[in-house]
A and B are shown apart, each in its own frame.
Chain A
Amino acid sequence: MMAFCGLNCAECAAYKATMGHDVALLEETARLWTDSQNKYTPADVICLGCTEENSSLLYASCAGCATRACAMRKGIRYCATCDDFDNCSTVKDLMKTFRPNVLKVIGLMRERVKRAQGSDLPRKKRHRVTSGPVPNL
């Protein structure tokens, strides 16, 4: 499940452990993420993913994420589709921590959004279902 910012919650240990009912992984994640400033219990790293509305069911750091709060307030599903994306310091600050390939996917999303700007392509040009080779996706 892709978060508002472009990260994939399904790749996070907290989300995987919660969804997989993996208590051992919750315990290990709490231990690994504990440092001198933050001490976590397995309950603290329970996480149902960024799009879950109830913030108490998210890992603390994600529950307080300014990008998530902004997207929810605006009713936007992905930051990459937001009109303010290019000038948004909130998401840009967060993106500094992302892997290069995650940034590339966000770039692809931006390219699509910009390409579609001003066109009403999906509704006007519907794909006709015909016989023929099926793309093997």
Chain B
Amino acid sequence: MMGFCGLDCSGCRCYRGTLTSDIALLEEVAREWVEPERTHRAVDMMCLGCAQPDSRLLPPYCGTCSVRLCALERKIPTCAACPDFDSCDRFKGLMRFLAEPKVESKMRLMRAKVLEGESR
């Protein structure tokens, strides 16, 4: 299942751990995800994927992702379908943060495909 930004939730241990009821995997991610001001538990890692609208069922990071909230508000299936895609600082900021050039390239291809479809 692809997130609005282009990341694949199915490749994430939080999503996989939840869908396959693998509590040990959720505990493992919780242990590894160390932040200065907080510790995490399995309950914090539980995730049903970016595309479902209930933010309570996502981990703290994805549940508050401004790119996701923007896409939900705009009711678009992916950022690549957004008319503001090319000039969106929010999306660009997320891509810089994620440092996943393949995801960004894929999204640019998807955007080109959307524009091609719109010009027909």
Contacts and interface: CB of A to CB of B under 8 A. Distances in A.
Interface in B59-117: 60-61, 63-67, 69, 90, 93-94, 96-99
A80 B98 CA distance: 31
A116 B56 contact: yes
B24 to A, nearest CB: 9
B37 interface: no
B2 interface: no
Interface residues of A, number: 34
Contacts of B14: 137
Interface centre among A101, A129, A134 (most CB of B within 10 A): A129
Interface in A109-137: 109, 111-113, 115-116, 121-123, 125-132, 134-137
A101 to B, nearest CB: 4
A126 B19 contact: no
Contact of B43 (A112, A129, A130, A132): A112
A78 interface: yes
B88 to A, nearest CB: 12
Contacts of B33: 135, 137
Given A77-B54, A122-B55, A137 B97 contact: no
Contacts of A122: 55-56, 63-64, 69
A10 B19 CA distance: 9
Shortest 9 CB-CB distances between A and B: which pairs?
A: A122-B55, A101-B21, A127-B64, A129-B93, A116-B56, A108-B46, A137-B12, A108-B43, A102-B21
20 contacts: A2-B48, A8-B19, A10-B19, A11-B20, A78-B54, A78-B57, A81-B54, A108-B18, A112-B43, A113-B56, A121-B63, A122-B69, A123-B69, A127-B66, A129-B67, A129-B94, A131-B97, A132-B97, A137-B14, A137-B29
Interface of A: 2, 8, 10-11, 77-78, 81, 99, 101-102, 104-105, 108-109, 111-113, 115-116, 121-123, 125-132, 134-137
Given A108-B18, A113-B56, A129-B90, 11 more contacts: A2-B48, A77-B54, A78-B54, A115-B56, A116-B56, A122-B69, A123-B69, A129-B66, A129-B97, A132-B97, A136-B32
Interface of B: 12-14, 18-23, 26, 29, 32-33, 42-43, 46, 48, 52, 54-57, 60-61, 63-67, 69, 90, 93-94, 96-99
